[in-house]
Each structure stands twice: as C-alpha cells, then as structure tokens.
Amino acid sequence: MDISRRDIFTVGGKLLILASVGATLKQITGAEPPSDAYRLADHWWGMIIDIDKCIGCGNCVRACSKENNVPEGFFRTWVERYQIEDQIKEVKQPRVESPNGAIDGFPPLAPIDGKSFYVPKLCNHCADSPCVQVCPVGATFVSPDGVVLVDQTYCLGCRYCVQACPYGCRYLHPETQTVDKCTLCYHRITKGLTTACCENCPTGARLLVDFKNPKDPVHEILRTNKVQVLKPYMATGAKVYYENLDGAVR
C-alpha cells in the first residue's frame, strides 16, 4: 500500500482535531462543583501582629498546641523575648530567649538598661515559599487561598523543607515522621472561625486577615501603620505582617 504525504497530513489533521475536541470537552465537563459554601478563590489569608500589644503570656502557644495536638517539645507558633541593651559603649548582640516556646509564659524580667519586647512567631505563609519550591514530591504547597500546607499522605519526611524555611517554622512529627507546620488553623478559618492563637490572644496582638475581603481591617491597617515582614530580603512574599517591629528581630 502506498502512503502519500497527502494521506499522512489528512489523517494526522483529523486526529489532531479529534484530540483537541476531546481535551476541550474534558476541560468543560471535568471540573467538579465545590462541596460547600467556602470558595477558595474568594480568600487570601494572612496575619497582622502588633508587637506593642504582645504581653508574652503564651496563650497563643498553649491554644495552638491544644487545637492542633502539637507534640510536646515542638511548636507551630512560639514567642521570643528580645533584650537589646544600650549600644553606646559597645555593640552587643540582642539577647533572645524563648523558654520551651513560651508555652508556660516567661519568668518576669527586671528592668534592663535598654529595651525589651516580645515577638510572636509562626509560619509566614509565604506567597513564594522556599519550602514549597524544594519539595521533591509535591507534598507541600500554597493553597489557592494562600495557606502553606502539607499533604501528610505524600510527605516522605526528607526534611528539605525544614532546611529551606528561613523562619524555622517546620518540624518532623516524631510519630508520623512527616513534616508538620502551622496550617493557619485551616480547619477553622474555612468554617468561619478565626485561628486558635488569634481567638485566645487576650490583647488582640494577633489578627487573622483576609486580603481578598475588601471590608477586612487589614487594608486600613496597612494604609495607616508602619508595617514590616520578617527577613524581607529573602523575597519570600511573607503574609505575616508586624506592626512596630524592631530592626533587631530576625
């Protein structure tokens, strides 16, 4: 049988059209409707922390631990106490402490020759997260609503992401041997509640915010306050903003 160039082009062309029609049909009919009222595309979560309101009580750490069954000795959120002495005579490194993640608060501090303050920390839920970039199996990802999550069924426990996180927010769960981290209480915020740490902060130092909600107070706060993210030079797109943050904080 002779096959001419014309035949190849006719058959090939028909196959190409069939394939593209099939693919288009799958695109149109394949998407499943959402299961409930929460729409991923309507949210972009983050947090605002006001350093001038934090009293270092550790309520957030305890609440997070109870809400998420965080194993003992590991922390999804923690509080640090910075002590920066007067640097006129000599340059000193700031003294940073966080006894057991501040789960039992801090021992009282006597006045020092300088300044001291508390800094609550948690996953920054970066938009361009280094931890997501290094995951070899697609187990960690930024969700469509802006939360960095871990797929516990895919995680191999290789710890690349633990090393990649510039903020030290990840740990290997001692029982499951998979990586665990702050989920921004995803099981709560998708049901209309705030996070456990924000719910239990007695001074309102922490505030869960939704950047896609035009009525959210975040827009007013970002417009009228001096805010900063941690390690801005890492260009991680961190979405945990700090008000009144000192330059010494890393």
Q: Which residues bind other proteins (CB under 8 A)?
A: 2-3, 35, 40, 52-59, 63, 66-68, 81-83, 105-106, 108-112, 116-118, 138-144, 149-154, 183, 186-188, 190-191, 193-194, 196, 199-204
Nearer to other proteins, 136 or 233 (CB): 136
| In the complex, least distance from residue 202 CB atom to other proteins, rounded to whole angstroms | 4
Closest listed residue to residue 246, CA positions, set 103, 110, 91, 81: 81
Nearer to other proteins, 200 or 236 (CB): 200
| In the complex, least distance from residue 233 CB atom to other proteins, rounded to whole angstroms | 26
| In the complex, least distance from residue 51 CB atom to other proteins, rounded to whole angstroms | 9
Helix and strand tally (H, E) in the chain?
7, 11
Asked if residues 183 and 149 have their Cβ atoms less than 8 Å apart, the reply is yes
Nearer to other proteins, 220 or 232 (CB): 220
AA identity, residue 130: P
Nearer to other proteins, 22 or 232 (CB): 22
* Helix/strand/coil percent split, the chain, to 5: 30, 20, 50
Nearer to other proteins, 177 or 232 (CB): 177
> Which ranges of the chain does DSSP label H, i.e. alpha helix?
5-30, 59-68, 130-134, 160-164, 186-189, 196-200, 218-224
**CA–CA separation, 39 vs 59, rounded Å?**
31
Q: ∠ CA(223), CA(207), CA(80), 5° rounding?
A: 105
